Structure 1
């Protein structure tokens, strides 16, 4: 059995490791799991636009996967957590931008996906958090 190898994304990941005592990803063999990635920059700032925040969260997943040796094309499972637009619907922008980013980053291949509306996330300005599972080299 392969030993777990942990990764702290340069910038925000190193800050979170020092301040909150967690890593951004773990790799065991060809399997990579990420912590939830938000739409922050390295100084923990969030974009004003929800669309920009979602795209930044996808970029942060990409950075973290790359550090562990994977890409979005290796992703098989996505969990996304959203502050909903209303109590009964996550919202058009959330869904539209998530799907646009899946298609842009993964092409024709589609992962399994669980989208969950939540009341709060880990930082006051967060509206989106994405965590993924990847299997390195499984795609064509």
Structure 2
């Protein structure tokens, strides 16, 4: 739908758009929908070699993608879906990141165990939806 606003941040976002023909985020009304964010370095697309650091980086990438799309970050997130190759190994770290990034609210959350993700080196992908009424109004003025 070409009438929607799509966003791909520099580095990994540009790589995804050019290599795989997808965007990191799209605005639909007052909602920002993110594609799954992995634990990759946003500049190089290299996935963190340590599993817990990979989880932390995925959460940082969500924040980056939301802000790149004009949002305020995790404070606006109301829905989270995590895709994990080993749910038990990352579950507690995900909860720690929820408490770190969203200390004032608890989003809805679904976690799904998968055999494989988009890159062979990935073990987690975090997909969110964020309510951004102010940003949507500002984006319409552009």
- Deviation of 1:81 after TM superposition, in Å, equals 0.2
Aligned to 1:107: 103
- Deviation of 1:13 after TM superposition, in Å, equals 0.3
Work out whether 1:31 is the aligned partner of 2:34.
no
Work out whether 1:119 is the aligned partner of 2:119.
no
| Alpha-carbon distance in 2 for matches of 1:55, 1:137 | 27
Aligned to 2:18: 18
| Alpha-carbon distance in 1 for matches of 2:60, 2:23 | 17
Aligned to 1:87: none
- Deviation of 1:137 after TM superposition, in Å, equals 5.1
Aligned to 2:79: 77
| Alpha-carbon distance in 2 for matches of 1:69, 1:103 | 23
Alignment length (residue pairs)? 130
2:125 equivalent among 107, 129, 132? 129
SS in 2 for 1:78: strand
1:95 equivalent among 76, 91, 95? 91
- Deviation of 1:57 after TM superposition, in Å, equals 0.3
What RMSD, in angstroms, separates the aligned Cα atoms of the two structures? 1.3
Runs of at least 4 residues off by over 2 Å: none
Q: Which runs of 5+ in 1 are unaligned?
A: 85-89
SS in 2 for 1:9: coil
SS in 2 for 1:121: coil
Residue pair 2:55, 2:93 contacting (<8 A) in 1 also: yes
- Deviation of 1:9 after TM superposition, in Å, equals 1.2
